[in-house]
Amino acid sequence: MNFDHQDISLQSLVRTIYEDRQGNLWFGYNNAGLYKYDPETNVFESYRHIHLRPDGRQPYLILAIYEDQSGILWIGTDGGGLIRFNPANQVYNKYGSNVGGNRGIGSPRVNDINEDIDGNLLVGTSNGLVIIHNDRETVHHYNEKNGLANSFIYAIEIDRFNNYWVSTNRGLSHIKKQGNDRLSFRNYDAEDGLQSNEFNTGCSFQTINGEFLFGGINGYTSFYPEQVKDNPTVPVMTITHFQIGEEIIKGNPNKAKYEIDYDDNSLTFEFASLEYTNPGKHRYKYKMDGFDEEWITSGFRRFTTYTNLDAGDYVFRVKGTNNDGIWSTEEANIYVKIIPPIWQTPWAYIGFGHGVT
């Protein structure tokens, strides 16, 4: 096979190679465009005209090539978005051009393309995951706000359960279908054993026995999707530290009751989820009955402080998760009574009413 071609500069880099169902090889170049090689005829054919820049000189860099179930080629570029190309009739267009340029996918850069068993096209862009449904008209966008680890998508693989695995610029996302176009997201990062949080464009592979490999800046991460299980352990919550003003309360403060003077009511609580798998991923929420109307999401922060509480009865309550988001079934709590100042007691009001000074 001779890869030399008069239109291809020796300085051009091949960014992606794809074999279609007819056995043709498609090459995406750094600055020379799209080429097809037919091994039967030994002919190299240029298609650079389908993705030229507006100046008509240089083609956009090609990052991804994919043939869908109907034989349509989808070309992912850096700068020109997504291109739909029918090799049978040579018709091509930028997908979503009916709404103006490449706004149909919401990004000018496409890093990877895949297709699930239902014929939905998955497009990994620099601005999230785009799902072009099998009718090729319905489009849904998902990004970090929807639950992805990060909106910059590098590569996409699909497991035998038709779930998606997406490498990003901040870890790996496992995406499951929930029906009615709803997806659930479970994210993994370097603390879970990934090579790092950053991966590389289009760098993924699924072996014949179902093992996934995702390449990144520190090597590659390999796993069998069906063997990736969430931690089922329900954590036990505890309050590890209780401080009244400058005084640290010794011993175990959990479920204890404290009476506190009105002028010494700066209260600090520290808490922890007693499950030791990746404790940096534990999340918390708390509530002070008698003061907070709703639960307060603390995220990964394990402490909080209340000051200037009015006289009255309070209960501090806290819940937490394990590293995989399983919440504790029981709360840790502390009961607090703020003693009112003498002039707010019933005896003081009686005295005031009788003119006592």
Contact 237, 328 (CB under 8 A): yes
Provide the CATH number for the domain around residue 302: 2.60.40.10
Question: Among residues 167, 201, 227, which one ends one of the domains?
Answer: 227
For 35-80, the pLDDT digits (tens) are 999 999 999 898 888 877 777 678 888 999 999 999 999 999 998 8
Residues 325 and 246 sit within 8 Å (Cβ to Cβ): no
**Pair 29, 48 in one domain:** yes
Same domain membership, residue 193 and residue 66: yes
- Confidence (pLDDT) at 20: 96
Looking at the fold, whether 19 and 118 belong to one and the same domain comes out as yes
Domain span including residue 136: 14-227
Q: Which run of H or E residues covers position 297?
A: strand 296-299
Q: Report residue 44 as tokens.
A: 């190299």
Q: Are residues 175 and 257 in the same domain?
A: no
**Region of 179 on the Ramachandran plot (φ > 0 left; ψ -120 to 50 alpha; else beta):** left
Q: 319 versus 100: which is more confidently predicted?
A: 319
CATH of the domain at 160: 2.130.10.10
Residues 297 and 329 in one domain: yes
Does the residue 232 lie in any domain? no
Are 210 and 225 in contact, with CB atoms under 8 Å apart?
yes
pLDDT above 60: residue 14 = yes
Predicted confidence (pLDDT) at residue 267 exceeds the cutoff of 90: yes
Q: Is the pLDDT of residue 351 over 80?
A: no
Tell me the average pLDDT across 15-39.
Answer: 91
Confidence check: pLDDT of 298 > 50 = yes
- Residue 252 class from Cβ within 10 Å (0-12 exposed, 13-18 middle, 19+ buried)? exposed
Residues 302 and 181 in one domain: no
- Cα–Cα distance for residue pair 74/135, rounded to 1 Å: 15
Q: Is 6 within a domain?
A: no
Give the integer Cα–Cα distance in Å for 237 and 160.
Answer: 37
Q: Please count the CA atoms within 13 angstroms of the CA of 216 that sit on its side-chain side.
A: 23
Q: Dump pLDDT digits (tens) for 213-252.
A: 999 999 999 999 999 998 999 999 999 999 999 899 988 9
Residue 33 has pLDDT above 90, yes or no: no
> Are 124 and 241 contained in the same domain?
no
243, 321: one domain = yes
Q: What is the pTM of this model?
A: 0.80
* In a shared domain, residues 221 and 276: no
Question: How many structural domains does the chain have?
Answer: 2
Does residue 18 lie in a domain region? yes
